[in-house]
């Protein structure tokens, strides 16, 4: 009899050790995974997505500013009011957005270097426009002012190292960073479902063992722990699917804004190219500016119809809604591990009663 009691107590000790180990694994993995999920979602919301929107916004504002400057020179308004208020407002916004993008950058050292080059070129571009303005106002130096305007436009337009090309490369790098963050590495439930599944199986098997070997059909603590674990697994899987869906929505929403802003940029640049061609022909005579007109980057065969700023603002709000949806599960960072701790307490309580019985019998 004593030997049977000893073996039963040994089995209970093994069950206790297995259940508590599985519970500890569930607590650790659930916190690690959901802390990573929440951190990624918050990074996308607070840094990566805003950085992309700031960069593509800077591109539109730069090209709009450039078009406004060319319009001012071409119409002669530059003599009275310089490059114009539109130019000044847009170039200030471009500088502000670039600074914001630099502060939020999540695309690594390469993107940081690109931002530094772009900011330096933007400063140089502004200087060329100011010099063009000053010279164009001076009697007899309008041609030099026109040359400076041309140099400034080429800084934006150059197909190899122009600001526009560099901005496109930067947006691409930032979108790759977003794609890596949206990838379901952290949001994969397998990382915490395995220990959760092991714990669930152990709980069920323990209750079956109690009913077969110890004639204890009901153990309220283990039943409560099993129900709590099953609920936690269901909530975790459901919310994981939601986070993945919201992160995918974020990527699509960001791409939609980028496409719309690129259409706006193309429209602004097409207007700038057409006006600059006309301006050069007016000053030099048709075809007499030589390679200057020929070197202008050809505009697209068809310029897309750009959405209004109001429409783009609505698309940007969609980005915000998607990122908020992805990052709104912060409570799971604590609830799932907390649930594991409660399960551990219930499991220990339920097993301790049986251990106590066999200690008494021994």
User: Would you say residue 357 has pLDDT above 60?
Assistant: no
User: Would you say residue 204 has pLDDT above 80?
Assistant: yes
Whose CA is closest to 19, among 345, 347, 357, 350?
A: 347
User: Would you say residue 137 has pLDDT above 50?
Assistant: yes
Rounded-to-integer distance, Cα 270 and Cα 164, Å: 13
Cα 156 to chain centroid distance, Å, stands at: 27
User: Would you say residue 362 has pLDDT above 50?
Assistant: no
Instruction: Give the pLDDT mean for 299-313.
Output: 69
Whose CA is closest to 276, among 69, 78, 124?
A: 69
Residue 61 confidence (pLDDT): 93
Residue 162 confidence (pLDDT): 85
Helical spans, DSSP H, in 285-331 = 291-294, 309-327
Q: 187 to each of 26, 58, 87, 266, how far by Cα in Å?
A: 16, 32, 45, 37
Mean pLDDT of the chain: 81
Among 96-105, 190-199, 211-220, the range scoring the smallest mean pLDDT is 211-220
Give 91's pLDDT tier (boundaries 50, 70, 90).
very high
Query: What tens digit of pLDDT does each residue of 227-265 get?
Result: 999 998 888 888 888 888 888 899 999 999 999 999 988
Instruction: Give the pLDDT mean for 332-352.
Output: 83
Residue 53 confidence (pLDDT): 94
Largest CA-CA distance found in the chain, in angstroms, rounded: 117
Residue 353 confidence (pLDDT): 64
Give 58's pLDDT tier (boundaries 50, 70, 90).
very high
Residue 18 confidence (pLDDT): 85
Among 10-14, 130-134, 210-214, the range scoring the smallest mean pLDDT is 210-214
Rounded-to-integer distance, Cα 106 and Cα 271, Å: 34
Residue 84 Rama label (left phi>0; alpha psi -120 to 50; beta): left
Instruction: Give the pLDDT mean for 104-114.
Output: 90
Instruction: Give the pLDDT mean for 56-85.
Output: 82
Packed helices 108-137 and 85-104: angle between N→C axes, nearest 10 degrees: 160
User: Would you say residue 196 has pLDDT above 60?
Assistant: yes
User: Would you say residue 75 has pLDDT above 90?
Assistant: no
273, HSE (Cβ side, Cα atoms, 13 Å): 19
Rounded-to-integer distance, Cα 103 and Cα 92, Å: 17
Percent of the chain scored above 70 by pLDDT?
81
User: Would you say residue 20 has pLDDT above 60?
Assistant: yes
Rounded-to-integer distance, Cα 182 and Cα 119, Å: 28
Helical spans, DSSP H, in 138-189 = 142-157, 163-182
CB 102 within 8 A of CB 112: yes
Residue 105 Rama label (left phi>0; alpha psi -120 to 50; beta): beta
Give 268's pLDDT tier (boundaries 50, 70, 90).
confident
Instruction: Give the pLDDT mean for 269-298.
Output: 65
């Amino acid at each position: 009899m004593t030997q049977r009691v000893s073996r039963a107590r040994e089995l209970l000790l093994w069950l206790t050790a297995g259940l508590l180990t599985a519970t500890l694994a569930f607590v650790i993995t659930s916190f690690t995974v959901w802390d990573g999920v929440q951190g990624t979602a918050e990074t996308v919301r607070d840094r990566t997505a805003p950085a992309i929107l700031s960069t593509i916004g800077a591109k539109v504002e730069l090209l709009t500013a450039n078009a406004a400057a060319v319009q001012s020179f071409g119409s002669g308004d530059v003599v009275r009011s310089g490059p114009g208020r539109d130019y000044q407002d847009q170039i200030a916004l471009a500088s502000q957005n670039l600074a914001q993008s630099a502060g939020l950058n999540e695309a690594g050292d390469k993107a940081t270097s690109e931002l530094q080059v772009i900011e330096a070129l933007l400063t140089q571009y502004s200087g060329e426009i100011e010099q063009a303005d000053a010279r164009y106002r001076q009697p007899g130096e309008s041609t030099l002012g026109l040359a400076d305007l041309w140099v400034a436009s080429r800084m934006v337009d150059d197909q190899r190292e122009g600001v526009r090309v560099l901005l496109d490369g930067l947006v691409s790098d930032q979108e790759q960073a977003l794609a890596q963050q949206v990838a379901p590495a952290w949001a994969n439930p397998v990382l915490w479902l395995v220990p959760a599944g092991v714990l669930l199986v152990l709980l069920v098997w323990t209750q079956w063992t109690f009913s077969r070997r110890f004639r204890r059909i009901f153990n309220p603590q283990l039943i409560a722990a099993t129900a709590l674990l099953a609920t936690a697994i269901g909530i975790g899987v459901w919310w994981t699917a939601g986070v993945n869906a919201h992160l995918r929505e974020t990527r699509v929403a960001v791409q939609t804004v980028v496409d719309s802003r690129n259409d706006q940029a193309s429209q602004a640049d097409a207007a700038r190219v057409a006006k600059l061609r006309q301006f050069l022909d007016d000053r030099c005579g048709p075809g007499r500016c030589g390679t200057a007109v020929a070197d202008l980057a050809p505009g697209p065969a068809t310029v897309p119809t750009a959405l209004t700023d109001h429409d783009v603002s609505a698309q940007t709000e969609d980005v915000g809604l998607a990122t908020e949806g992805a990052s709104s599960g912060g409570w799971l960072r604590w609830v799932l591990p907390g649930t594991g701790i409660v399960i551990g307490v219930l499991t220990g309580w339920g097993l301790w009663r049986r251990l106590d019985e066999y200690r008494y019998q021994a």
